[in-house]
Amino acid sequence: MVTSLRRILVSSFGFWIALAIAALYFLYPPMERLKFGIDLVGGTYITLGVQTEEAVAHDLQSLMFSTVSGLKRDEKVETKNSKFNKENLSFDLTFDNAADALKAESFIRDQYRDRKGSSKDVEMSLAGTTLTVRFGKKTEEAIRHAALIGNKEVLQTRLNATGVEEVPVYVKGKNRIVIELPDIDPIEAKKMIGTPAMLEFRIVEDGPAATKEELLDKYDGEIPEGMEVLEGRDRRIGRAYFLVPDYTEVTGRYLLKATPRLNQDRSAGGMQMAVSFVFNNEGGDRFYELTSQNVGKLLAAILDKRVISHANIREAIRREGQITGDFTQEEAKELATLLKSGSFTAPVTFEEERHIGPALGSDSIKRGLISCFVGLGLILLFSLFCYKLSGLFAFFVLIYNLILILFILSRMHAALTLPGIAGLVLTVGMAIDSSILIYEKIKELLAQGMQIPQAVRHGFSGAMVVILDANITTFITGIVLYYFGTGPIKGFAVTLMIGIITTLITGLFFLRSLFEVLLTRHIQKLSI
């Protein structure tokens, strides 16, 4: 007896026993180890509206400024006046003569095709010496779609950065994003969602001033065209106002990384928290151009239309810098997280917030478990009736399969949803199907007079092709569902694909290991 037990433990079957013990250990207690979807434990659905027209306006404004500077640099053509029309998403360029306007038209076509690709279009109309420019319909739709997808990716990064993993975020329609927040604090998530974290670097044209009126006195009380007044703080006067350009080429879009750090503050004679940043190559080039042309002037770091830091430009800066602003450690860490996740391509607004209580989820879990247990009970009766002891082996494989699925889901931090439970039930059927294919092949070989060990060996190898074919085709279907599906469909696809992998592992290897243990007893008749 002891010898037989030792032989089992040192055989391949010992590995499966150890794996089962480890899986059960990491799964206990299951309600704490497993993560459940919003349809099972309740939570909050948040619908965000994406102002995609802001992304179109930004790209159009960028085109206007690059055109004005490009004409001056390459064509030696001065623009008499430039005006951006946000209401109808267009801009006007006025020149001294019609010839210069025609040069500008040709320049824009060449520039935009080179930068954005020949498939996108720009519409232009010329009236005298004024050229009106707007994006074509295809270009505008592409920019809006890119803004929607970009915002979705930013939201996924931000929510995962808070430790809330696998939060479903998906696009709905042309300008909406839906977020599912299962069993988490929606206040923290909304705080992250509602912070645009749009970082910009602009030259301070005037200021700081204690009041807005004081700042605009020298401009007859009117904000100069192309400028805007932003509020911020200054160490000398406290609340302060700054006159800055209303557009900049240097934004947080080009950041590679942002990290909080403790920095020596020379002016205050102590240490203070700061956020260090690094631009990518394009951002570094833009930052260098901005700072090299404005040495000696004030450079403002602007976050969400508020000046959080300003300093004199002593020399041209290319890729690295830092933002200071009397941050606490927590504020610096939060700002770095937001900047690393990226700024929204277009602003978002909260349109709907819908709460689901846990009562429905508890009922769903209960019904799902009942369906699983009923299915397992029927399969056990069927297996024992048709395949006797071998049928019991198939049932063990099925239980082992379910343990492995739940273990993998827990380690992946994947949320188990109601469709996921449906995927589990489907996996139960597919797992027993693999055992049936193997058993029928073994019975066929035994009927032909083959010895039991050879029949078992050839039975597994002979059924392998059919089992792989059936499961691989289903796995491909799962990939398609995951790629094109959203929310619950993805939950079903994930569980289905994991179930297929574990079915192949347990059906082809664990079940064979069970038979190897049985055959060590040199049995004369196989109960199948």
DSSP letter for 408, please.
H
Residue 74: the pLDDT is: 80
- Residue 47: φ, ψ to 5°: -105, 125
Percent of the chain with pLDDT strictly greater than 90: 5
In this model, does residue 188 exceed pLDDT 80?
no
List of domains in the chain: 2-42+357-519 (1.20.1640.10), 52-141 (3.30.1360), 195-351 (3.30.1360.200)
Beta pairing partners, 264:
271
Predicted confidence at residue 8, as pLDDT, reads: 52
Q: Output the pTM of the full model.
A: 0.59
Closest CA to 436 of 476, 397, 475: 397
Per residue in 58-103, pLDDT tens?
A: 888 888 888 888 888 887 888 888 888 888 899 999 998 888 888 8
Looking at residue 7, its pLDDT comes to 55
Beta bridge partners of 320: 278
CA triple 351-356-359, angle to 5 deg: 175
Question: Pick the residue with more confidence: 368 or 517?
Answer: 517
| 114 — pLDDT class (breaks 50, 70, 90) | very low
As a whole number, mean pLDDT of residues 493-513 equals: 89
pLDDT band at 118 (very low <50, low <70, confident <90, very high): very low
In this model, does residue 162 exceed pLDDT 50? no
Token digits of residue 126: 């010329």
pLDDT of residue 242: 92
| Model confidence at 359: pLDDT above 60 | no
| Range 409-436 average pLDDT | 80
Mean pLDDT, the chain, as a whole number?
A: 80
Whether 115 shows a pLDDT value over 60: the answer reads no
pLDDT for 297-354, tens place per residue? 888 888 778 887 788 887 888 777 777 666 677 777 766 766 665 567 777 888 888 7
Asked whether residue 411 carries a pLDDT value surpassing 50, the answer given is yes
Instruction: Give the per-residue pLDDT at 523.
Output: 67
- For residue 357, pLDDT over 70 is answered with no
- ∠ CA 159-156-326, rounded to 5°: 50
pLDDT above 70 for 361: no
Give the torsion through C-alpha atoms of 499, 503, 504, 508, to 10 deg. 170
Label residue 475 by pLDDT band (50, 70, 90).
Answer: very high
Token representation of residue 225? 């065209």
Judge whether residue 431 has pLDDT over 50. yes
Query: What is residue 380's predicted lDDT score, i.e. its pLDDT?
Result: 87
Task: Tokens for 446, please give them.
Answer: 């035994």
Cβ contacts of residue 46 below 8 Å, gap of 6+? 178, 179, 181, 186, 189, 190, 193, 350, 352, 353, 354
Residue 466 tokens read as 């059919």
As beta bridge partners, residue 94 has 81, 130
Q: Is residue 199 within 8 Å of 58, Cβ to Cβ?
A: no
> DSSP readout, 252-288?
GGGEEEEEEEEEEETTTTEEEEEEEEEE-HHHHHHHH
Query: In this predicted model, what pLDDT tens digit does every residue of 257-298 receive, in sequence order?
Result: 778 887 766 555 567 777 787 888 778 888 888 888 888 888
The H-assigned helical ranges of 162-248 are: 186-193, 212-216
- Per-residue pLDDT band for 476 (boundaries 50, 70, 90) equals very high
Q: What is the pLDDT of residue 164?
A: 41
Q: What is the DSSP string of 416-483?
A: E-HHHHHHHHHHHHHHHHHHHHHHHHHHHHHHTT--HHHHHHHHHHHHHHHHHHHHHHHHHHHHHHHH
Task: Compute the distance between CA of residue 31 and CA of residue 54 in angstroms, rounded to an integer.
Answer: 44
Question: Does pLDDT of 119 surpass 60?
Answer: no
pLDDT for 163? 43
pLDDT of residue 364: 66
Q: With 50 as the cut, is the pLDDT of residue 116 above it? A: no
Q: What is the pLDDT of residues 207-248, one digit of tens each?
A: 788 888 888 888 888 888 888 899 887 877 888 899 998 888
Q: How confident is the model at residue 502 (pLDDT cuts 50, 70, 90)?
A: very high
Q: Lowest-pLDDT range, 168-182, 260-274, 389-403, 494-508?
A: 260-274
